[in-house]
Amino acid sequence: EDQVTQSPEALRLQEGESSSLNCSYTVSGLRGLFWYRQDPGKGPEFLFTLYSAGEEKEKERLKATLTKKESFLHITAPKPEDSATYLCAVQGIFGSARQLTFGSGTQLTVLP
């Protein structure tokens, strides 16, 4: 059974204070690892897909990296508008092709 563990559960940062969110996963074979952002009262919004260890992707102040056991979402010089819950999900090669297993998320608060 695929498993995803995200840490920390909550993170408070001062504006400009860089940090990283962790996503540890267990999957028999990785088809893809996804990062989503979720704002209160809204559905998750896609950020990145990573497919193989060593891959990196960037978008504005966010950078996602992937190893064989975990993924990191690095946030550089965050702003208050980056406050949200960040969700990680994995898609394994076994089982239902479109099954995504989500982590419980990291709630990020960036203080001005």
Question: φ and ψ at 80, to 5 degrees?
Answer: -55, -30
**From the CB of 15, what's the least distance to other proteins, in Å?**
28
**From the CB of 103, what's the least distance to other proteins, in Å?**
7
Q: Does 14 help bind other proteins (rule: CB under 8 A)?
A: no
Mask for 78-97, x = binds other proteins (CB under 8 A): ---------x-x-x----xx
Q: Does 98 help bind other proteins (rule: CB under 8 A)?
A: yes
Q: Is the dihedral of CA 98, 102, 107, 110 positive or negative?
A: negative
C-alpha count within 13 angstroms, C-beta hemisphere, residue 96: 4
- The rounded distance, in Å, linking the Cα atoms of 76 and 40 is 22
**From the CB of 79, what's the least distance to other proteins, in Å?**
23
- The rounded distance, in Å, linking the Cα atoms of 82 and 16 is 11
Segment 26 to 65, residues that bind other proteins, using CB under 8 A: 31-32, 34, 41-46, 49
Helix (H) or strand (E) holding 56: strand 56-59
Q: Contact positions toward other proteins, by CB under 8 A?
A: 31-32, 34, 41-46, 49, 87, 89, 91, 96-100, 102-105
